[in-house]
Amino acid sequence: MSDLVSLPEIERAAERIAGVAVRTPLVPFSRDPAPSASGAPALLVKAESLQPVGAFKLRGAYSAISSLDPEERERGVVTHSSGNHAQAVAYAARALGTRAVLVMPHTTPGVKVDACIALGAEVVYVEPTSRARAETAGKLAAAHGFTLVPPYDDARIIAGQGTVGLEIVQDRPDVDVVLVPVGGGGLISGVSAAVRALRPEARIVGVEPELAADARDSMAAGRPVEWAAEETGRTVADALRVQRVGDLPYAHMRAHVDGVVTVTEDEIRQAMRRLAREARLVAEPAGAVATAAFLYHRAELPEGRTFVSVLSGGNVDPALFLDVLGPPRGEDGQDRG
Helix (H, G, I), strand (E, B) or coil at 126: strand
Which entry of 63, 189, 309, 312 is annotated as an active-site residue? 312
Q: Work out the angle between the directed axes of helices 57-66 and 155-171 (0-180°, nearest 10).
A: 130
Active site residue 139: no
Reduced to 3 states, what is the DSSP secondary structure of residue 259?
Answer: strand
Q: Angle, to 10 degrees, between the axis of helix 84-95 and the axis of helix 57-66?
A: 40
Strands 26-28 and 42-47: antiparallel
Strand order in the sheet with 26-28: 26-28, 42-47, 306-311, 177-181, 203-209, 259-263
DSSP output for 158-214: HHHHHHHHHHHHHH-TT--EEEEE-SSSHHHHHHHHHHHHH-TTSEEEEEEEGGG-H
Out of 46, 57, 82, 192, the active site residue is 57
Q: Which residues are catalytic?
A: 57, 312
